[in-house]
Amino acid sequence: MGRLFLRYLDSSKCIYKCNTCDAHLAVPEDVVSKDFQGTLGKAYLFAKCVNVACAPKEERYLVTGMHTVCDVFCVSCRSIVGWRYIKAKEPEQKYKEGKTILEKMRICRQEQNPTQHLVSPTRI
């Protein structure tokens, strides 16, 4: 296995991180919606995420109908953190294609402090 290169994000607000290993995953500017339901409870839909990889795609029946999705996992610790929408069957669900769900129970939020660049992560 080769060397692992992680991306580090910069945001004036906060950074969403893997709850297991603290790898950076997303920034608030990329939140599309906070009104999603994951397998463990509430979830956020993101336009972009970093430091994640996809498992094999599969057909899955979700609350809004049939979708082709793949589970996404943190590339640092291999924990599943959510899933990515590959294809939506219903026309009104097409906006989800290519976007990623991150489950709130599997991520934490690190607030940025102007006087101290990074502070402790907190549960969201």
What pLDDT score was predicted for residue 119?
Answer: 53
The DSSP result for 74-124, as a single string, is: ETTT--EEEEEEEEESSGGGGGGTT-EEEEGGGEEEEE--SSSS---EEE-
Rg of the chain on CA atoms, in Å: 15
pLDDT digits (tens, 9 = 90+) for 17-42: 999 999 999 999 999 999 999 999 99
CATH assignment, 14-123: 2.170.150.20
What pLDDT score was predicted for residue 118?
Answer: 52
Residue 4, number of CB atoms within 10 A of its CB: 9
Residues near 99 by Cβ (< 8 Å), separated by ≥ 6? Answer: 32, 45, 46, 47, 84, 85
What pLDDT score was predicted for residue 4?
Answer: 83
**pLDDT higher than threshold 90 for residue 12:** no
Domain boundaries, the chain: 14-123
pLDDT digits (tens, 9 = 90+) for 91-124: 999 999 999 999 999 999 999 775 555 555 666 6
What pLDDT score was predicted for residue 120?
Answer: 58
* CB-CB contact of 51 with 23 (8 Å): yes
